[in-house]
Amino acid sequence: MTTKERVHPAVVGRTVSIVGIGSYLPERILTNADLEKMVNTTDEWIITRTGIKERHIAAPDQASSDLGAEAARRALADAGISPEAVDMIVLGTITPDMGFPNTACFVQAKIGAKNAFCFDIEAACSGFLYGLEIGRQFISTGSMETVLVIAAEKISSILDWEDRNTCVLFGDAAGAVVLQARGAAHGVMASTLGSDGTLAELLMLPGGGSRSPTTEETVRNRLHYMKMAGREVFKHAVTNMTRAAKDALQRSGLGIEDIRWIIPHQANLRIIEAIGERLGVTKEKLVINLERCGNTSAATIVVALDELAREGKLQKHDKILMVAFGGGFTWGASVVEWDK
């Protein structure tokens, strides 16, 4: 059976396509050499253990909504759609502008999407794929026509810049897609999402919530910064992303040979290579930009997808497998047929 003949079993209702995409990386670049001056680390350690060479860091006056709004403007321009046409904004972030209102509302105000209803999802590094599937559902049922899915992260604002275990790994970025129903094309073909809350303590930001409201003591104990058990997270990331990727593929009715590009969450080059090996794909199918961006949490996948599009590497009907893993734990994978 050829790819075209395969019937997609997971989608009911209208098919939903990415009709516009955009991303934004803050101007300032922080290199490994810069980090050598800040914590006890070396360029060599960071490159060999993670693959990261540099990352972008937002300006002090830029919040996640500023990054997200810029990505959203670019995605809307790419789609040729006005902000007023957006029915819903769903934004994935672990670095909201503030406790509330939600960051999607701030983006709405900045871009003038006055007819949208707006909410955030907190699924850490899986935020974009969670948002993509949520957006797909609303359009698929006919409830909405145009959805903006944004991932926006100012991770630098929750990093402990004295903790070499975490501060060398992350960066700031935002990406956005516009979703609409588009007739016969497959668009977002299949998704799988999962979570395991029993392992929450391996990756968290413990302070500042209702469990430990901010006090002088929580600040003194640096509980307002991200904590991660890197080695443990590594193992779970490989296992769960591999499983999610296989599950989404199965749901899509495609085989791995049908996939043109795999965009894994960009946390560590060794994680990406391990997933590639387990899926049995050649390195040229793996999309990797973490050497320039580091781990930008929810934003990694959509930024990489946008770069791929801008570099002219996406052909109409290319099948793309995206797979993510993050705090929660949360994970997800989606198979998308490129439709632009």
Ligand X SMILES: CC(C)(COP(=O)(O)OP(=O)(O)OC[C@H]1O[C@@H](n2cnc3c(N)ncnc32)[C@H](O)[C@@H]1OP(=O)(O)O)[C@@H](O)C(=O)NCCC(=O)NCCS
Q: Which residues are catalytic?
A: 125, 265, 295
x/- map, 112-131, ligand X, by CB under 6 A: -------------x------
CB 307 within 8 A of CB 266: no
φ, ψ dihedrals at 317, nearest 5°: 80, 0
**Contacting ligand X within 48-107 (CB under 6 A):** 49-50
Bridge partners (DSSP) of residue 205 are none
Applying CB under 6 A, among 6, 10, 36, 45 the residue interacting with ligand X is 45
x/- map, 267-306, ligand X, by CB under 6 A: xx--x-----------------------x-----------
Instruction: Find the part of the chain contacting ligand X (CB under 6 A) among 13-21, 188-196, 264-272, 284-292.
Output: 264-272
Least distance to ligand X, CB of residue 326, Å:
4
Closer residue to ligand X, CB minimum distance, 140 or 240: 240
Angle in degrees, CA 241, 286, 57, rounded to 5 = 85
Sign of CA dihedral 128, 132, 133, 135: positive
Instruction: Find the part of the chain contacting ligand X (CB under 6 A) among 69-77, 114-122, 176-184, 224-232.
Output: 224-232
Residue appearing with tokens 């997808």: 305
Applying CB under 6 A, among 29, 47, 182, 234 the residue interacting with ligand X is 234
x/- map, 12-41, ligand X, by CB under 6 A: -----------------------------x
Closer residue to ligand X, CB minimum distance, 46 or 190: 46
Least distance to ligand X, CB of residue 333, Å:
14
Closer residue to ligand X, CB minimum distance, 86 or 123: 123
* Residue with the CB atom nearest ligand X in the bound state: 230
Q: Does 330 bind ligand X (CB under 6 A)?
A: no
Least distance to ligand X, CB of residue 107, Å:
23
Site size with ligand X, rule: CB under 6 A: 21
- The C-alpha atoms of residue 157 and residue 11 are separated, in whole angstroms, by 38
Closer residue to ligand X, CB minimum distance, 298 or 305: 298
x/- map, 144-173, ligand X, by CB under 6 A: --------------------xx--x-----
Closer residue to ligand X, CB minimum distance, 237 or 281: 237
Applying CB under 6 A, among 326, 330, 333, 336 the residue interacting with ligand X is 326
Least distance to ligand X, CB of residue 116, Å:
28
Least distance to ligand X, CB of residue 96, Å:
17
- The C-alpha atoms of residue 268 and residue 290 are separated, in whole angstroms, by 8
- The 3-class SS string of 244-289 reads HHHHHHHHHCCCHHHCCEEEECCCCHHHHHHHHHHHCCCHHHECCC
Least distance to ligand X, CB of residue 119, Å:
22
CA distances from 174 to 57, 192, 248 (A): 12, 23, 24
Which parts of this chain interact with ligand X (CB under 6 A)? 41, 45-46, 49-50, 125, 164-165, 168, 228, 230-231, 233-234, 237, 267-268, 271, 295, 325-326
